[in-house]
């Protein structure tokens, strides 16, 4: 059984990269989509993108914070006017995205493109090779000058996008590597007002964090005469584990590689999930669970219900982008790297800058590939990114002495909406996974609010310095990782939950490790080593 836990990669994400192309136009075997029948309808530069209107349909992932019809949202209404390209977004909640996406791809009844659809490198390589997703190499070279500049500026970006056959099939979601608060994304938050009432300092160690959660449970901090305070709330426990594992020295190459990092003693690859330090982390999590410090519905609650409960001011701690924007709670502070029981203190909760390889792909059903590439490329320009994230000057944002801020209707909504709820009327980037280039200069989401920036400043001294980007796997290696690798990661996911909720005692740890070994861990690590060796020598 596969369960998605936000912020924690519980299943293996295989990322394929091929040889770095000498130029962006790398295919010569009948490039799909170039010089299509409708190419003459496309203006080479400027707006509108096409002379005569074009209609496109995209399969689109939807966050709980998004509105229910993208076509009615300001940014897309205005962009349709600017471009002459009318897009119908077929929305699918992220919770059911994988299942519906797989059915569409397998059945052949797919639309012109996949937008914010979280296509994995495995899917891009498979369906790109089959011709479902069109090759973009020449299209990027000819019709995407903004994205082409990014590929030249960040060689690792091109490596990560290039599949084993030498082709690029997608546009990514790419974060500026220097934008630390964005790479952190979801800090570990605590209620500063409750800390003050408890006469406790900001937790600096895992023990102090435990004592804070315990005090929240035992104290009527909201003064309503009931013990309804919830020490920690989240959608699953994965986010919290990812925030805490650095306190045990784990995950020292970032969130992009949840199962493997480098052993600081031997400088060799280490399988995190069988390491004795990971057992200690699970024991800590088990203690929190056993003492009732987690929300009772933590394994079943959905994002929307979590945010609604958060608006009632019931959580002592959580891991989300920002309580101020999602819960209308402005009394939280983010923690830096907590020190663990062994003295280790490392902030490893940092994403790979290319967070989604397959944020946007064009299918072979698309009769207007040139126009579609131009449509997408605009959002990789300064002007387009500013429009996508900020909207229109004096409508959604104001610019005073070079300082950009959203209008009060968004930041101090008169109807009492949270900032994210107010933004949803104008934008669709909320919830992430969108294709584009994110920089702090024009991105004004929750990651750039003062409390998020302060958290990044706290984390910076202990932030990991080397973040692994995607590794490349050959077809033979992919078969290994998608068979025994999937079996191993599925087993680990199930056992993590059982260790934490106490249904499996820690006296079974050695049996758990032995089972993973028998499932083929040596072969898994040998495959990972081959991919790492190639990565290290590029």
Tens of pLDDT, residue by residue over 139-179, are 999 999 999 999 999 887 887 788 878 899 999 999 998 89
Task: Return the pLDDT at 477.
Answer: 87
Residue 288 region by backbone torsions, left for phi larger than 0, else alpha for psi between -120 and 50, else beta: alpha
CA 19 to chain centre: 25
pLDDT of residue 441 exceeding 90: no
**What was the pLDDT predicted at 20?**
31
Separation of alpha carbons 473 and 10, rounded Å: 19
For the chain, give the percent of residues with pLDDT over 90.
78
Whether residue 6 has pLDDT greater than 80: no
- On the question of pLDDT at 22 being above 50, the answer is no
User: CB 225: neighbour CB atoms within 10 A?
Assistant: 7
183 vs 180: CA distance, rounded Å? 5
pLDDT band at 538 (very low <50, low <70, confident <90, very high): low
| 9-23, 81-95, 99-113: least confidently modelled range | 9-23
Model-wide pTM > 0.85: no
At residue 4 the predicted structure's pLDDT band, cuts being 50, 70 and 90, is: very low
- Separation CA 249–CA 141 (nearest Å): 43
The pLDDT of residue 284? 98
How far apart, in Å, are the Cα atoms of 458 and each of 180, 346, 394?
11, 11, 34
Which band of pLDDT confidence, cut at 50, 70 and 90, is reported for residue 301? very high
Mean pLDDT of 350-378: 96
Q: What is the mean pLDDT of residues 424-428?
A: 96
User: Which region holds residue 33: left if phi is over 0, alpha if psi is between -120 and 50, else beta?
Assistant: left
Confidence check: pLDDT of 521 > 50: yes
CB 264 within 8 A of CB 252: yes
**Would you state the pLDDT for residue 11?**
34
- Distance, in Å, from the CA atom of 368 to the CA atom of 462, rounded to the nearest integer, reads 48
Tens-digit pLDDT profile for residues 481-507: 989 999 999 999 999 999 999 999 999
The bridge status of strand 397-400 relative to strand 403-406 is: antiparallel
Sheet holding 332-334, edge to edge: 230-233, 315-319, 188-191, 332-334
Q: Categorize the per-residue pLDDT at 307 as very low, low, confident or very high, splitting at 50, 70 and 90.
A: very high
> Within a 10 A sphere around the Cβ of 415, how many other Cβ atoms?
7
Residue 531 is predicted with a pLDDT of 86
Its sign, for the CA torsion 118, 121, 126, 129, is: positive
* pLDDT of 30 above 70: no
């Amino acid at each position: 059984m596969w369960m998605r836990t936000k912020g924690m990669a519980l299943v293996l994400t295989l990322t394929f990269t091929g040889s770095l192309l000498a130029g962006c136009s790398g295919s010569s075997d009948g490039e799909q989509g170039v010089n299509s029948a409708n190419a003459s309808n496309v203006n080479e530069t400027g707006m509108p993108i096409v002379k005569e209107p074009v209609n496109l349909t995209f399969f689109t992932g939807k966050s709980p914070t998004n509105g229910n019809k993208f076509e009615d949202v300001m940014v897309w209404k205005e962009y349709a006017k600017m471009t002459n390209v009318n897009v119908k977004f077929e929305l699918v909640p992220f919770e059911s995205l994988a299942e519906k996406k797989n059915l569409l791809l397998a059945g052949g009844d797919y639309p012109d493109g996949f937008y914010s659809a979280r296509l994995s490198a495995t899917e891009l390589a498979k369906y790109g090779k089959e011709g479902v997703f069109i090759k973009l190499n020449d299209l990027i070279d000819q019709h995407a000058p903004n994205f082409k500049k990014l590929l030249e500026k960040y060689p690792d970006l091109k490596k990560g996008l290039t599949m084993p056959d030498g082709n690029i099939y997608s546009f990514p979601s790419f974060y500026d590597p220097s934008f630390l608060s964005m790479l952190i994304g979801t800090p570990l938050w605590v209620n500063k007002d409750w800390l003050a009432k408890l006469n406790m300092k900001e937790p600096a160690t895992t023990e102090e964090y435990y004592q804070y959660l315990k005090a929240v449970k035992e104290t009527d901090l909201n003064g309503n005469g009931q013990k309804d305070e919830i020490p920690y709330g989240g959608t699953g426990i994965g986010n919290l584990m990812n925030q805490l594992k650095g306190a045990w020295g784990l995950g020292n190459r970032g969130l992009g590689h949840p199962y493997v990092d480098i052993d600081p003693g031997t400088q060799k690859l280490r399988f995190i999930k069988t390491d004795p330090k990971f057992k200690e982390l699970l024991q800590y999590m088990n203690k929190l669970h056993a003492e009732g410090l987690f929300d009772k519905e933590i394994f079943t609650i959905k994002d929307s219900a979590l945010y609604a409960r958060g608006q009632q001011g019931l959580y002592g701690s959580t891991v989300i982008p920002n309580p101020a924007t999602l819960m209308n709670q402005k009394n939280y502070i983010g923690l830096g790297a907590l020190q663990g029981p062994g003295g280790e203190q490392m902030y490893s909760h940092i994403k790979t800058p290319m967070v989604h390889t397959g944020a946007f792909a064009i299918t072979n059903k698309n009769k207007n590939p040139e126009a579609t590439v131009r449509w997408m490329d605009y959002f990789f320009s300064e002007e387009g990114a500013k429009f996508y994230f900020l909207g229109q000057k004096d409508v959604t944002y104001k610019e005073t002495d070079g300082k950009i801020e959203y209008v009060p209707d968004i930041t101090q909504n008169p109807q009492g909406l949270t900032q994210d709820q107010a933004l949803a009327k104008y934008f669709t980037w909320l919830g992430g996974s969108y294709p584009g280039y994110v920089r702090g200069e024009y991105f004004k989401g929750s990651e750039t609010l003062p409390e998020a920036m302060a958290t990044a400043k706290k984390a910076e001294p202990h932030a990991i310095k080397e973040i692994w980007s995607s590794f490349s796997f050959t077809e033979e290696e992919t078969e290994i990782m998608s068979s025994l690798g999937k079996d191993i990661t599925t087993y680990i996911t199930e056992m993590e939950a059982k260790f934490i909720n106490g249904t499996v005692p820690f006296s079974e740890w050695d049996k758990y490790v032995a089972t993973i070994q028998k499932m083929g861990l040596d072969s898994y690590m040998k495959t990972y080593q081959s991919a790492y060796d190639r990565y290290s020598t590029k």
